[in-house]
Structure 1
Amino acid sequence: MQAAILPYSAGWQWINDGIQLFKRQPMAMFFWSLVTGLLITITYLIPLFGQMALIAAMPSLTFITLNACRHIEAGRQIVPGMWLAPMRDAVARKGLFRLGLAYLACCLLGGLIATVPFLDSLMAAINTDGRIDEAALLQAVQGPFITFAVIYVLISAFFWHAPALVGWHHIRMTQALFFSMVACWRNKWPFLLYGASWAVIFLGAQFADGFLMQLGLSAATAQLLMTPVNLLIAAVLYCSFYPSYMSVFGNNYARQNDPTPTDDHTPPNVG
């Protein structure tokens, strides 16, 4: 799999292409954003195991999202039966399951590496009588959070393109992780712009929420008003995954024999 090297401006182009995909079938992607948001909420009702299950399911959810975007680009109207159709491929399903377990293991290991050096300061935030010094705890967790953020960037590079490589091409997991890492490194500047742009967008949504409360609205009312906005932002984010993959690996499809794939597992031909 040969990864293209793109200019840094591609990072913003992925977002723009995601917006265009969303505009073609907004209700379908808004629905998917709502479903994923509901899944996240449900997992938080099950302490620890719910979050672990969500992390392990992320490659499969990403693959479902990519297939939905593929249908939109091809001009197909998404119907309910299309959402889970990509998971009917036994080889893809097995590969994505293993990829999810690997992703969970990497996140847990990353969390452990980020936490162990700061254990003393974290434990110091707990008084001898068992009470937690909130100010000391907030200061103590800054180190682990920053360290994990750096580690997670590295983890994301390995797993960013892996769901498509495993699900569509049935590439072995180790090869998919390697190809994904190389592709992300070759396009580190576009991804830096892409990540920074989304950070600004999400921070803007947070500021809007705070601004509504400054106007006198209650936290519940502000959250209610911002929920559709947040779902819309998430839907566009999901739509941008597809162009970020196709622009990097799309040149590999021009050599395929079938220029008009119709099944649910082969990505479209990009000439």
Structure 2
Amino acid sequence: MILHLQSVPPRNGLLWVRHGLKVLQRKPIALIGLFATVMLASAVLQFVPLLGQLLVMSALPLVSLAFMLAAHQVLQSHTPTAAVFLQPLQLTKERRRAQIGLGLLYTVTTILAMLLAHWLDGGALVRAMEQVANAKGDPQALELIAAQADIGPSVALRVTLLALLSIPFWHAPALIHWGGQGVMQALFSSTLGVWRNKGAFALSGLVWAALSFGVMMSITLLCLVLGLVSALPFILLPLMMALMTGFYCSLYFTFIDCFMFGAPRDLPEATETPT
């Protein structure tokens, strides 16, 4: 498939958010189920020392591509299944190798970014986490740690490094899958795509952050007023999972808008077909 790098206006960032939520609205159970599957698999792999964490990191680019494929299937009036996680590996041998190589490269660069952050902050965040673990839930100890440890800059540093790292990997899995590009070419093209459309990406990120914060604050205040504080985690968890699923679905529209035929102004009406 021939891809063309395109420039879109900043307002398209809002379009991506709206389309991601509309796709979620059409197949909420199937799509949230896919996200829950990812979370469950990640939790299980955490029990495998080191190797499990490495596998989770390596799979993240494929997970983003899987949700792009899922969003595409929803637009075709199909119900996506867990098979979307394997579809990127079932094309040609070259593209399968490229996807695996991309995942391994993402893992290596993420580890290097975290090592850099650890060096820059002098290990402040690690020390604070060790102190929290040693406190074993003691409220007084935790309060003392919170008063002494200023971990804000350390967290901000890691978030910034991961955000910068996401730029070359944002479109790379899709560029390999639909465009047949190699790993290095896909990383370069993705960087160009994000940079050329940085206004739309910035607006999209702000809207997703505002939605998440707004939902958390609204539900928290409502539970406080109704005296349902103990139920807060059980209410927030599915809502935040839904928002995260909508975000992952919106990735499809960022890609087609930047490299393919452009995101539509509005989505076509859904038609029911056998699934």
Q: TM-score, normalised to structure 1's length? A: 0.80
Post-superposition CA distance 1:152-185 (Å, at most 9, x none): 2211110000010112222110000000000000
Aligned pair in 2 of structure 1 residues 76, 201: CA closer, same or farther (>3 Å)? same
The separation in 2 between residues aligned to 1:124 and 1:70, in whole angstroms, is: 44
Q: Which residue in the other structure is 2:178 paired with?
A: 168
Kindly report which structure 2 residues correspond to 1:223-242, keeping only aligned pairs within 5 A, or say none.
223-242=233-252
The separation in 2 between residues aligned to 1:168 and 1:65, in whole angstroms, is: 14
**Alignment check: 8 A CA contact 1:68 1:78 kept:** yes
Question: Which of 28, 35, 38 is 1:36 aligned to?
Answer: 38
Q: Which residue in the other structure is 2:145 paired with?
A: 134
Q: TM-score, normalised to structure 2's length? A: 0.79
AA of the residue aligned to 1:228: P
The reply on whether 1:217 has 2:228 as its aligned counterpart is yes
The separation in 2 between residues aligned to 1:234 and 1:182, in whole angstroms, is: 25
Aligned pair in 2 of structure 1 residues 175, 82: CA closer, same or farther (>3 Å)? closer
The reply on whether 1:152 has 2:162 as its aligned counterpart is yes
1:86 Cα deviation from its structure 2 partner: 3.4
The separation in 2 between residues aligned to 1:243 and 1:160, in whole angstroms, is: 12
Q: Which residue in the other structure is 2:111 paired with?
A: 108
Post-superposition CA distance 1:185-212 (Å, at most 9, x none): 0011110011111111122233245325
Q: Which residue in the other structure is 2:96 paired with?
A: 93
Unaligned ranges ≥5, structure 1: 253-271
Aligned pair in 2 of structure 1 residues 35, 150: CA closer, same or farther (>3 Å)? same
**Alignment check: 8 A CA contact 2:72 2:252 kept:** yes
Q: Which residue in the other structure is 1:201 paired with?
A: 211
The separation in 2 between residues aligned to 1:208 and 1:36, in whole angstroms, is: 27
Post-superposition CA distance 1:17-68 (Å, at most 9, x none): 1122223322221221221222333344456543332111011111211111
CA RMSD of aligned residues (A): 2.7
**Alignment check: 8 A CA contact 2:5 2:258 kept:** yes
Q: Which residue in the other structure is 1:118 paired with?
A: 121
Question: Which of 66, 73, 76 is 1:74 aligned to?
Answer: 76
Post-superposition CA distance 1:115-173 (Å, at most 9, x none): 2122175688689xx9896236630x322221222222211110000010112222110
Q: Which residue in the other structure is 1:179 paired with?
A: 189
What's the secondary structure of 1:119's corresponding residue?
A: coil
Moved more, 5-14 or 145-154: 145-154
Kindly report which structure 2 residues correspond to 1:50-61, keeping only aligned pairs within 5 A, or say none.
50-61=52-63
AA of the residue aligned to 1:135: A
The separation in 1 between residues aligned to 2:196 and 2:239, in whole angstroms, is: 33
The separation in 1 between residues aligned to 2:88 and 2:125, in whole angstroms, is: 44
Q: Which residue in the other structure is 1:19 paired with?
A: 21
1:239 Cα deviation from its structure 2 partner: 1.2
The separation in 2 between residues aligned to 1:28 and 1:41, in whole angstroms, is: 20
The separation in 2 between residues aligned to 1:186 and 1:217, in whole angstroms, is: 46
Identity of aligned residues (%): 25
Aligned pair in 2 of structure 1 residues 180, 208: CA closer, same or farther (>3 Å)? same
**Alignment check: 8 A CA contact 1:4 1:251 kept:** no
**Alignment check: 8 A CA contact 1:95 1:170 kept:** no
Question: Which of 119, 137, 143 is 2:153 aligned to?
Answer: 143
Paired residues, number: 248
1:213 Cα deviation from its structure 2 partner: 4.7
The separation in 1 between residues aligned to 2:145 and 2:49, in whole angstroms, is: 21
The separation in 1 between residues aligned to 2:146 and 2:121, in whole angstroms, is: 16
Question: Which of 55, 62, 65 is 2:67 aligned to?
Answer: 65
